[in-house]
A = this chain, B = another copy of it.
Amino acid sequence: MSNQDTEQNILNAATAIFQSKGMDGARMQEIADKAKINKAMLHYYYRSKQKLFEAVFKTAISIMAPKLREIIEKEEPLFDKIRHFTNGYISLINKHSYIPTFIVHELNRNPHILQDVFIKQFGDSFDKMKVQINEMVEKGQIRSIEPEHLIMNVVAMSIFPFVAKPIFKSVLQKDDKEYQELLDERKTHVADFVINSLKIK
């Protein structure tokens, strides 16, 4: 196996372990076992547990952040934006279902890591979206709403059902298959729900 393969192999194993157990719960030996290599190799390619963790965390952010930027930046009618976001984001998370909980936990454990891991100027593009929404409000095309709340609403309804899956499964008494169907329905349901709330009619 080439060195690059090994490096990727380690990163894959580390991703699986870190994302399911968190930084504190993960063991270097377990990652090594999963990657089927010697524990010393982890330190040969990534100097420390912290460095290996950071590589995993940055990858996770780089998977999730772009689509969030998309909803904010893309020049497109607001309702289209919302439909594209809920559909795209829920599909994306379905492929990486451990990431949201992972990011949320590690970020609350240590909020500083966000500063180091870019996400810097969301602000500029967020201003553009504010303008778009406020214009629609002024023209009487949608109900009055603060852009901050609208973003929170859309993102919350898209992501939280993944983060709180064990709770919702228990409360709503669904098995895995049924819950997955619910998640799929949400790709369109959330957009419909939001747009119905915004429409004046």
Contact = CB atoms under 8 A, between A and B. Distances in A.
Interface of A: 20-25, 68, 98, 101, 103-105, 107-109, 111, 114, 119, 122-123, 126, 143, 145-146, 148-149, 151-153, 155-157, 159-161, 163-168, 170-174, 182, 185-186, 189-190, 193-194, 196-197, 201
Given A22-B22, A25-B24, A160-B163, A194 B197 contact: yes
Given A111-B166, A114-B167, A164-B159, A172 B197 contact: no
Contact of A161 (B101, B152, B185): B152
Copies of this protein chain in the complex: 2
5 contacts: A108-B166, A123-B173, A126-B172, A152-B157, A159-B164
A198 B165 CA distance: 24
Contacts of A170: 114, 119, 122
Contact of A104 (B25, B123, B149, B164): B164
A161 B146 CA distance: 15
